[in-house]
Structure 1
């Protein structure tokens, strides 16, 4: 067995153990920040440009840069959680560490992060419940799956190609020709100014929808927002859209009442303890 295959198996075994400990099925998406809290690992956000994340062994604390996109923050947190799981000791990780790991421990942490957020069972379940084939899914469909799994569009494509073998290299390159910005314009219209878009459909499941103030969420036509955290947004080609207006927790409900999903909104570039990121501002209460 090659060393890379051995690392992948070690990472996958650890992911299954962590999910089992937290009572999370291997077929379900996971919010890594909620998972860390369940495992008694503190997560903090701080304004730091010089690093992606760090893990402090003595206090079992993960620190994630507040200045990164949501998908990268999730991946960084999962990477640091690997250092906790494998008892690697205190680590400070820069972007190069995550994208070009230069040690077996860092490669193991990357594999763990990928399998934690995008395990084969959850990925296949997400595509299967929509009757989509990963190798034939279009960019918007692929982006929708990435939103549900809480990862970046390009991160999902790389996982599908390199770790899971569910798409070909040719298909990966075709999908990568479409940027998240072009996909946002395809969904919301070419004049949309949305900086971050989450696409939600009737197959989303029970995982909460996490947004930052200013983010846009696209929904099916008959769905409604409940609460004050969302306001009416742009008019997409299909369905409807809302904008996250204030920190707090609300709901999105389908027209037939079958689907009811929690929406959790944090401040943009929130700094502080992760567990408090969705608290309403005093002036908003």
Structure 2
């Protein structure tokens, strides 16, 4: 599948700075490349950055099938099409699962791996409220405010509604539509189950960025990744949740700056 993307060319801070290579950012479920503009611009000081819309998200094509394996295959095609050598992968949530799967099944390909707030294990599909909030007909709605009011009947969390609405598009006709393949994602409820091959491991330079208050990452997960990744750095942002790239952006970018400075 040919994925939509945005490229942020390498912007060195000084004439003598060399690029670390190409960086690819993979968003999470219900997200898109639009969620990563600030991080991508920041990381372009280290190398050219591609922010990718994964299948059924953003401006990329919709498909009936949606799995971590297929998204990893989409990523492989993207890397080959753009002739990218030894990229650095940054993946958040679903994107982190895709990035880890790619790393496990393509040993030696990555220069480095950054995983945000997700572990290499199965997760339940606990997004009924999100799906319901995007499943009512949009015909007749003339403003985002009215759509938000209707969404709030299903999804009280204002932050998550605003996050979802980054994928809400107004057409030239004045009508609204979801860029997300809402029905397709609803049918892919086992997307986070039994994802990884048996006896997986990685020697890739790996940074885990974890929210200290996140529901997605547990103490057991710390032990799991320590067993799985032999070249591992773990950074925990206290009080941070699942969206630390947004809610704790200053600390997040500081950690990336420090760790990327160590990559060769």
Please say whether Structure 1 and Structure 2 have the same fold, judged by a TM-score greater than 0.5.
no
Q: Which has the higher helix share?
A: 1
Q: TM-score, normalised by structure 1?
A: 0.27
